[in-house]
A = this chain, B = another copy of it.
Amino acid sequence: MATIEDLENRIAALEDRLAILQLVASYGPAVDSLDRDGVGALWAEDGRYDFGGDPLQGRDAVASLIDLETHRNYVGQGSSHILSLPRIEIDGDRAVVVNYSQVFVRDPSSPRAGWHADRCSANRWELVRTAEGWRATARTNRLLDGSQPARDLLRRD
């Protein structure tokens, strides 16, 4: 028969998965509402976000992405950063998470045209368990434009 300790371990494993779903679900609302602290809270102090070009290094640098001209333009036009249901692999205090992110932007040329997907990317997140919960140590984002690097992010280890 299962012991209390067995059950507790299984519960902790479930809590890990739901905490990671919550982390992924928090990114879009944070960037689209220009919530600097909300973005920063998802990364570890020395975490990194590489979406092509020079990576943003450190929580403060990552959080400052809300001030990028490209980002302000997105938000001004009307943007939705939508992150897909993630595939999650947990190994002790580390986790690797793979999903898609899309940036939908209001089409400025015609209100009737709705929103178009300006970016469709593969994402690979490396997470660590900290005293405050799961945090990103690295997130890599590459446009799914037919090139190999984006596809490689989606692979299983």
Chain A interface residues toward B at CB < 8 A = 1-5, 7-8, 10-11, 14-15, 17-18, 21-22, 24-26, 28-30, 32-35, 38, 75-80, 82-88, 98-100, 102, 104, 106, 113-120, 122, 143-147, 150-152, 154-156
Contacts and interface: CB of A to CB of B under 8 A. Distances in A.
Nearest to A152: B33
A143 B18 CA distance: 28
A87 B22 contact: yes
B87 A100 contact: no
Nearest to A28: B100
Nearest to A19: B17
Nearest to A38: B156
Q: Most chain-B Cβ atoms within 10 A of its Cβ — which of A99, A118, A144, A152?
A: A144
Contacts of A86: 25
B106 A114 contact: no
14 contacts: A7-B8, A10-B15, A21-B85, A25-B99, A32-B122, A32-B144, A33-B154, A38-B156, A78-B145, A82-B84, A82-B100, A83-B84, A85-B85, A102-B104
A89 to B, nearest CB: 9
B114 A117 contact: yes
Contacts of A84: 25, 28, 82-83, 85
Nearest to A16: B18
B14 A8 contact: no
Closest 7 pairs between A and B when the two form their complex, measured CB to CB: A29-B154, A78-B146, A33-B154, A78-B145, A115-B120, A115-B117, A25-B87
